[in-house]
């Protein structure tokens, strides 16, 4: 994901397939998620990025238990959407992810905020370039009716590759927002150490 946004990034993946099977068991999933974060921390990274928003609810609790800075992939995007406020169209492929993201934005928003879900898109809509371009056109149309469009699923983020920088100011993806936040976190950490 981030290599496209940040060439030269050194990243190591810590995948834990058992996590998705445990999402209904809150404590068991938390324990396994914490164990996975601790395995990642053992490799001494500058920052740990979690890429599944299902576990964002656990990030504050986990931050208290580890020393390495921790970022949820969509945290920066959600914060930016809350700053924009107003009428926000949320685009995704999973209804519950849209609902959870909308609730989090509303929780952070200090002004009036209307969350408008768009029709669900296929999770593979951006699997090829024509699909990504078609979704980009849909995002442009949705943007005409809102203050911002929030692309909830990371799998749909490729659609913004054909958008202008100005369009990306109000068509938000977690990939772009997380990359920007990671750069700042890593620079800050290296400055503090060096």
CA angle (156 as vertex; 93, 167 as ends), nearest 5: 120
Q: How many CB atoms lie within 10 A of CB 62?
A: 17
Q: Write down the domain spans for the chain.
A: 2-73, 75-177
Question: 144 pLDDT exceeds 60?
Answer: yes
Confidence at residue 3, expressed as pLDDT on a 0 to 100 scale = 55
Tell me phi and psi for residue 171, to 5 degrees. Answer: -120, 100
pLDDT class for 119, splitting at 50, 70, 90? confident
Confidence at residue 22, expressed as pLDDT on a 0 to 100 scale = 56
> In the block, which residue shows the tokens 């927002």?
177
Report DSSP letters for 9-72, one per residue.
Answer: --------THHHHTTTSHHHHHHHHHHHHHHHHHT--S-EEE--GGGGGGHHHHHTT-SS-EEE
| CATH ID of 75-177, from 3.40.50, 3.40.109, 1.10.700, 3.30.450 | 3.40.50
Question: 5 pLDDT exceeds 70?
Answer: no
Question: 189 pLDDT exceeds 70?
Answer: yes
More confident residue, 10 or 86: 86
pTM of the model: 0.84
Among the ranges given (8-12, 97-101, 140-144), the one the predictor scored with the smallest mean pLDDT:
8-12
């Amino acid at each position: 994901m981030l290599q496209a946004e940040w060439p030269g990034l050194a990243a190591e993946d810590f995948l834990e397939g058992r996590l998705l099977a445990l999402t209904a068991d809150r404590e068991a999933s938390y324990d396994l998620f914490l164990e996975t974060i601790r395995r990642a921390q053992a490799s001494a990274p500058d920052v740990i990025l979690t890429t599944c928003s299902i576990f964002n609810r656990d990030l504050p609790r986990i931050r208290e238990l580890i020393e390495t800075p921790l970022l949820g992939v969509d945290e920066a995007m959600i914060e930016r959407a809350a700053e924009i406020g107003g009428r926000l169209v949320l685009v995704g492929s999973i209804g519950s992810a849209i609902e959870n993201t909308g609730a989090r934005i509303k929780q952070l928003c200090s002004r009036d905020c209307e969350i408008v879900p768009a029709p669900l898109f296929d999770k593979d809509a951006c699997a090829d370039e024509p699909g990504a371009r078609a979704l980009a056109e849909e995002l442009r149309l949705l943007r005409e009716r809102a203050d911002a469009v929030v692309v909830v699923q990371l799998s749909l983020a490729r659609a913004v590759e054909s958008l202008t920088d100005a369009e990306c100011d109000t068509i938000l993806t977690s990939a772009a927002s997380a990359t920007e936040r990671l750069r700042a976190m890593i620079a800050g950490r290296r400055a503090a150490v060096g």
